[in-house]
């Protein structure tokens, strides 16, 4: 039984919510378009050995997309929004395939009674977030206890009477979400409570971290012997690789190299655009002011007519001073701004206040930014705002309407204020504003452009504002300037020429060897991109690179692509290397293995030299002189020490020092940069303690937070998840 059904039985009421945005959620700390493009693989991936079929997965994606559209009232979602939804559905699939099995196996669940408590009597923090203003973090007044500011179960139940069908569906989704979150919390808490640090382990850590040694050391650096002098055989490489295979684990990735052919306007293209802009400027000077808007919209590439008035310093530096010292009708241009030619015209001048004091009543509508719980339509909101305006002008009290009708959450007194004290938003009053105030432009302009006593209705992204100008000061000049933009773009002729050039290169150099030779011969700038994961979404220098990544995973090593267009360039790509998940082949990591073998051979050589030089009882100073090496020193070295002065991070050496006794000299120690010999000059033992409960508690406290992400990562890794989303979306 759902909590919604319980509510109906217990109170006869439905429950509603504010700001439910489940489709944007990914379970905190745990979870982080189209066709298959002819790919024969019909699975988007595999989770715990179970294939995830595209048709089933895509149905969930499409359902999520439609839900997102309904909640946001968008007809079309952009690429980033769709990518986010696809990833969310994939994370949900992982949760179902990995985590739910764990919960079922352990018998972890959330009962209907417990869920009711989390939703109504003691609202879960995730529910509280949905009942709160995302900008202020405060619980919406319609759900908040006026004394505490916290969610009121009584108000939640009371508001349920207003719930519509969409909100009822959202509530059911939120129930499901809270149930999942609480299940995760139970699972993680079960593991956290099972973690324990023994007294012996706590004492060992305490002693290691608090036993301090003052040391001297010498280091024979690997750089003292050139790599080229160290002989490395294939047998050496194979021996090392076989013994250290875990060092060469890798994930699936691709390496590509490419050359780019920039698509930029030619001089001929620039000259043609300039001629066109000059003709526009001539016409702009002669047309009637009543024709300005239609001319701008028809001729400008951005099809925009700027209705805003500007103050000094807010226009482009190219025209700001000119326009503020000119008359209406002045045309400036063509002038260049970035890669755009612009022609601008001064079409209006007015005076505006330097500052104004205003108060307002906000009438929100569904889809506006003020309140997602508002159900009135935009038309209803406008009618209501106009009606209230008429009543105010006839003598009704503005303040009364603020309390009764305003949807502005700022009117609610903050918990830290007392009755009678002023706060921004009290009675709809936000005090004095100026051109730099952080208010939306329509709200700000209504105050600055009006006169004391004016009451007007303006629209912003939050809804309709009924604004009264209580006072104003000063005066400033404001001007309206409109511009016609013409982008400096390559013509079709230029595009074709660049494409032909890229195609010729791809056709002549269709193997990796030919590609590499041509790059050298033609002195081209080659870009290298390594470690490309199948579901990466970005590649430096390549705009919207998913088709390129898809190509890299659909082709064989050595393949050279046809020209591919990305943003303002064509690129020709060669697939240089393919790495599959598991242990890398020796050929793929041969250079790395060779460097490790060289270092190992040097370490063995240096260790033998130092052993030979170390006579019984020799002191570190004498050894340094004998080996012609400098002496380093470090104070208070213990197990937690991160580095040695002049030697950087040396965990092997520091670990060895932590178990050395005072007045002793170590054997040769292999470090990152060379081979060390360390002398402990003096040592301070850790102060004795009777018990180690404090250390046990601290150690457990450090372990527990790791459960929230490491357990999930471990289960996910154990499930051998394979993801192919890039092939389909």
pLDDT one-digit tens code per residue, 191-225: 999 999 999 999 999 999 999 999 999 999 999 99
Verify that 156 and 224 share a domain, yes or no.
Answer: no
Pick the residue with more confidence: 503 or 475? 503
Write a three-state SS string for 650-686: CHHHHHHHCCCCCCEECCCEECCCEEEEEEEEEEECC
Verify that 364 and 511 share a domain, yes or no.
Answer: no
Verify that 361 and 458 share a domain, yes or no.
Answer: yes
Decide if 699 is inside a domain.
no
pLDDT, mean of residues 328-333: 91
Pick the residue with more confidence: 388 or 130? 388
pLDDT at position 10 over 50: no
Decide if 575 is inside a domain.
yes
The answer to whether 465 touches 360, Cβ cutoff 8 Å, is: yes
Partnered with residue 340 across adjacent β-strands are: 337, 487
> What number of other Cβ atoms are within 10 A of residue 5's Cβ?
12
Which CATH number do you get for residue 382? 3.10.50.40
Give the pLDDT score at 396: 87
Does pTM surpass 0.85?
no
Decide if 516 is inside a domain.
yes
Write a three-state SS string for 131-165: CECCCCCCECCCCECCCCCCECHHHHHHHHHHCCH
Q: Which of 87-101, 167-181, 461-475, 643-657 has the lowest mean pLDDT?
A: 167-181
Cis peptide before 107 (omega within 30 of 0): no
Q: What distance in Å separates the CA atoms of residue 548 and residue 532, rounded to the nearest whole number?
A: 10
End-to-end CA distance of the chain: 37
Decide if 161 is inside a domain.
yes
> What number of other Cβ atoms are within 10 A of residue 574's Cβ?
26
Verify that 39 and 171 share a domain, yes or no.
Answer: yes
The answer to whether 211 touches 658, Cβ cutoff 8 Å, is: yes
Q: Which of 12-21, 332-341, 353-362 has the lowest mean pLDDT?
A: 12-21
Decide if 198 is inside a domain.
no
Task: Identify the domain containing residue 26 by its residue range.
Answer: 3-193+722-726
pLDDT at position 441 over 90: no
Q: Give the side-chain half-sphere CA count within 13 A for 377.
A: 3
Gyration radius from the chain CA atoms: 36
Give the pLDDT score at 372: 66
Verify that 105 and 159 share a domain, yes or no.
Answer: yes
pLDDT at position 12 over 50: no
pLDDT at position 419 over 70: yes
Give the pLDDT score at 512: 96
Q: What distance in Å separates the CA atoms of residue 627 and residue 618, rounded to the nearest whole number?
A: 12
Which CATH number do you get for residue 498? 3.10.50
pLDDT band, residue 435 (cuts 50/70/90) = confident
Give the pLDDT score at 33: 39
Give the pLDDT score at 436: 80
The answer to whether 217 touches 667, Cβ cutoff 8 Å, is: no
Of 549, 580, 611, the one marking the end of a domain is 580
Decide if 332 is inside a domain.
yes
Give the pLDDT score at 609: 95
Decide if 95 is inside a domain.
yes
How many structural domains comprise the chain?
5
Verify that 344 and 362 share a domain, yes or no.
Answer: no
pLDDT, mean of residues 94-98: 88
pLDDT band, residue 672 (cuts 50/70/90) = very high
The answer to whether 579 touches 250, Cβ cutoff 8 Å, is: yes
Q: What distance in Å separates the CA atoms of residue 134 and residue 128, rounded to the nearest whole number?
A: 11
pLDDT averaged over every residue in the chain: 87
Residues 6 or more apart whose CB falls under 8 angstroms from that of 628 comprise: none
pLDDT at position 32 over 80: no
Of 300, 320, 352, the one marking the end of a domain is 352
Give the pLDDT score at 41: 59
Q: What distance in Å separates the CA atoms of residue 475 and residue 692, rounded to the nearest whole number?
A: 73
pLDDT band, residue 23 (cuts 50/70/90) = very low
Verify that 22 and 162 share a domain, yes or no.
Answer: yes
Verify that 35 and 174 share a domain, yes or no.
Answer: yes
Verify that 661 and 621 share a domain, yes or no.
Answer: yes
Verify that 155 and 21 share a domain, yes or no.
Answer: yes
Verify that 541 and 427 share a domain, yes or no.
Answer: no
Give the pLDDT score at 11: 34
The answer to whether 541 touches 527, Cβ cutoff 8 Å, is: yes
Buried b (16+ CB within 10 A) or exposed e, 216-249: bbbbbebeeeeeeebebeeebbeebbeeeeeebe
pLDDT at position 9 over 50: no
Of 417, 438, 473, the one marking the end of a domain is 473
Decide if 221 is inside a domain.
yes
Buried b (16+ CB within 10 A) or exposed e, 433-457: bbbeeebeebbbbbbbbbeeebbeb
pLDDT, mean of residues 582-591: 92
pLDDT at position 14 over 70: no
pLDDT, mean of residues 481-509: 94
Verify that 30 and 88 share a domain, yes or no.
Answer: yes
CA dihedral 422, 423, 425, 426 (to 10 degrees): -30
String of DSSP letters for 460-472: ETTEEEEEEEEEE
Residues 6 or more apart whose CB falls under 8 angstroms from that of 520 comprise: none
Q: What distance in Å separates the CA atoms of residue 199 and residue 191, rounded to the nearest whole number?
A: 20
């Amino acid at each position: 039984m759902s909590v919604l059904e319980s509510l109906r039985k217990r109170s006869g009421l439905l429950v509603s919510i504010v700001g439910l945005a489940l489709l944007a959620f990914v379970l905190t700390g745990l979870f982080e378009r189209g066709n298959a493009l002819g790919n024969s693989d019909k699975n988007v991936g595999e989770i715990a050995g179970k294939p995830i079929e595209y048709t089933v997965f895509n149905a969930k994606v499409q359902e999520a997309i439609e839900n997102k559209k309904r909640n946001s009232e968008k007809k079309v979602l952009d690429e980033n929004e769709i990518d986010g939804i696809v990833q969310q559905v994939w994370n949900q699939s992982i949760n179902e395939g990995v985590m739910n099995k764990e919960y079922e196996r352990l018998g972890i669940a959330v009962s209907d009674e417990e869920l009711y408590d989390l939703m109504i009597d003691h609202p879960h923090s995730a529910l509280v977030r949905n009942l709160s203003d995302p900008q202020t973090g405060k619980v919406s007044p319609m759900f908040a206890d006026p004394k505490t500011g916290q969610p009121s179960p009584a108000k939640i139940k009371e508001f349920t009477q207003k719930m519509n069908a969409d909100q009822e569906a959202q509530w059911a989704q939120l129930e499901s979400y809270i149930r999942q979150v609480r299940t995760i919390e139970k699972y993680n808490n079960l593991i956290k409570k099972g973690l324990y640090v023994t007294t012996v382990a706590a004492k060992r850590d305490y002693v290691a971290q608090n036993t301090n040694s003052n040391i001297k050391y010498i280091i024979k650096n690997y750089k003292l012997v050139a790599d080229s002098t160290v002989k490395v055989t294939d047998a050496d490489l194979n021996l090392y690789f076989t013994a250290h295979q875990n060092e060469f684990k890798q994930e699936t990735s691709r390496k590509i190299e490419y050359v780019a052919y920039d698509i930029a306007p030619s001089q001929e293209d620039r000259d043609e655009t300039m001629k066109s802009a000059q003709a526009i400027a001539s016409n702009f000077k002669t047309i009637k002011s009543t024709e300005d808007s239609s001319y701008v919209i028809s001729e400008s590439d951005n099809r925009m007519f700027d209705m805003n008035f500007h103050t000094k310093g807010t226009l482009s530096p190219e025209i700001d001073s000119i326009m503020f010292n000119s008359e209406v009708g002045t045309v400036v241009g063509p002038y260049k701004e970035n890669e755009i030619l612009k022609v601008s015209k001064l079409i209006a001048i007015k005076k505006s206040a330097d500052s104004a004091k205003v108060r307002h009543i906000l009438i929100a509508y569904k889809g506006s930014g003020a309140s997602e719980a508002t159900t009135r339509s935009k038309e209803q909101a406008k009618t209501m705002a106009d009606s209230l305006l008429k009543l105010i002008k006839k003598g009704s009290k503005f303040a009364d309407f603020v309390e009764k009708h305003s949807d502005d959450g700022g009117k609610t007194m903050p918990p830290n204020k007392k009755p009678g004290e002023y706060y921004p938003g009290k009675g709809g009053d936000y005090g004095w504003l100026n051109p730099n105030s952080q208010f939306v432009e329509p709200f700000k302009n209504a105050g600055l452009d009006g006169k004391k006593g004016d009451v007007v209705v303006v629209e912003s992204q939050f809804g309709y504002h009924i604004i009264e100008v209580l006072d104003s000061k000063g005066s400033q000049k404001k001007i309206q300037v409109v511009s016609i933009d013409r982008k400096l773009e390559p013509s079709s002729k230029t595009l074709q020429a660049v494409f032909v050039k890229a195609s010729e290169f791809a056709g002549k150099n269709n193997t990796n060897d030919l590609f590499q030779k041509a790059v050298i011969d033609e002195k081209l700038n080659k870009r290298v991109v390594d470690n490309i994961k199948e579901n990466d979404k970005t590649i430096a220098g390549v705009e919207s690179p998913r088709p390129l990544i898809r190509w890299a995973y659909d082709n064989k090593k050595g393949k050279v692509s046809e020209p591919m267009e990305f943003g303002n360039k064509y690129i020709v790509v060669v697939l240089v290397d393919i790495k599959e998940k598991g242990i890398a082949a020796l050929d793929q990591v041969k250079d790395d293995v060779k460097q490790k073998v060289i270092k190992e051979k040097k370490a063995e050589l240096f260790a033998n030299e130092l052993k030979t030089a170390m006579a019984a009882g020799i002191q570190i100073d004498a050894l340094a002189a004998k080996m012609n090496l400098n002496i380093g020193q470090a104070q208070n070295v213990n197990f937690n020490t991160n580095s040695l002065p002049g030697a950087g991070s040396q965990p092997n050496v520091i670990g060895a020092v932590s178990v050395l006794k005072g007045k002793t000299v170590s054997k040769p120690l292999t470090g990152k940069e060379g081979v060390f010999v360390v002398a402990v000059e003096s040592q301070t033992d850790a102060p004795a303690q009777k018990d180690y409960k404090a250390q046990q508690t601290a150690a457990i406290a450090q372990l527990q937070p790791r459960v929230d992400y490491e357990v999930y990562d471990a289960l996910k890794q154990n499930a051998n998840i394979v993801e192919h989303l890039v092939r389909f979306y």
